[in-house]
Amino acid sequence: MTLLAGVDIGGTKTAVCLGEASGPEVRLLGKARFATPAAPEAALDAVRSALEQLLAENGSPRIQGIGISCGGPLDSQAGLVLSPPNLPGWDRIDVRTPLESYFGGPVGLQNDANACALAEWRWGAGRGSRNMIFLTFGTGMGAGLILDGRLYAGTNGMAGEAGHIRLEADGPVGYGKPGSFEGFCSGGGIARLASAAAERMLAQGPGPLFCRSAADLGGITAETVASAAHRGDPAALEVFETAGRRLGRGLAVLVDLFNPQRIVIGSIYARQQDLLEPSMLAELEKEALPRALSVCTVLPAGLGENLGDLASLSVALDRLDADRNAAG
């Protein structure tokens, strides 16, 4: 049995958990959540206190490894958080050293896409594969790459920024780029596509179910559009068809480049697979190399509500594996 701790640092909430890994299985022992303090030092103090409490509740065993999942950019090798947009003031913050010094075990740090990729590969929909891509498809669009049975992060940790790929000359803005993968395939991107459609309809007459009047434009979200689509609203269905087609086009690039066995997609895709999959598959089959596509399966994330907790635990396990491999 390997006792692991996980820390998921978000812009508004931080989650801390304990887990026990044994062979190919993992079991959550407990978790705690709290609002992320604005000051990094206060946040790390809160993490330490939460871990101490969880350890006390489980008989105060010794942690063998700690994993931290956090939005990028990061310097994972140095254990530094490098000014993520959702964590203002966290500029070159060392999150590894304080926890290693206090708890005495190794600490790993990865961005959220990489962490989720590791978790889905070990315990979720990617289990049993050697080449897998995980896509976030939530607030943003990022990718975690498992290639030849290990996480691939790139030369300076920037591998997997699939959301920055331009799919069209113009379109919704995502990752600072109009027409990007993230612009079409993210919560914000779907909302922007829907807002544009609603404005066109309102200029000519009645609005769609998700936006009956101009006063509703500010309240459009991917969730409200999905609800309208499930009620048969044509405009909402068209928005998801568009997002699905662009998803398929983006996946085709990844299939042709990396020849994966599985592509696992989280968040919005996992919840709205029925709306996105038909147009995604049609575009993917049209755009990808048939031989590469023939060995690739696209699946929704399999870990459900536990993905965030298991993602941080998988980072801890990945760090332990790396240390053992380095030791020979």
Q: Which residues of the chain have pLDDT under 50?
A: none
Helix spans in 124-233 (H): 181-184, 187-204, 222-230
User: Could you read off the pLDDT of 68-122 as tens digits, one per residue?
Assistant: 999 999 999 999 999 998 899 999 999 999 999 999 999 999 999 999 999 999 9
In this chain, the answer to whether the domains covering 2-112+305-326 and 125-302 adopt an identical fold is: yes
Contact 263, 251 (CB under 8 A): yes
Distance of CA 235 to the CA centre of its chain: 28
Q: Which two tokens stand for residue 213?
A: 């009047």
**Is the pTM value of this prediction over 0.75?**
yes
- In the prediction, which pLDDT does 1 show? 83
- In the prediction, which pLDDT does 326 show? 82
- In the prediction, which pLDDT does 60 show? 84
- Domain-by-domain residue ranges, the chain? 2-112+305-326, 125-302
- In the prediction, which pLDDT does 324 show? 87
Contact 220, 211 (CB under 8 A): yes
Domain 2-112+305-326: CATH superfamily, name plus number = ATPase, nucleotide binding domain (3.30.420.40)
Looking at 3.40.50.20, 3.40.50.300, 3.30.930.10, 3.30.420.40, the CATH number of the domain 125-302 comes to 3.30.420.40
Contact 30, 17 (CB under 8 A): yes
Angle, to 10 degrees, between the axis of helix 112-123 and the axis of helix 307-326?
Answer: 90
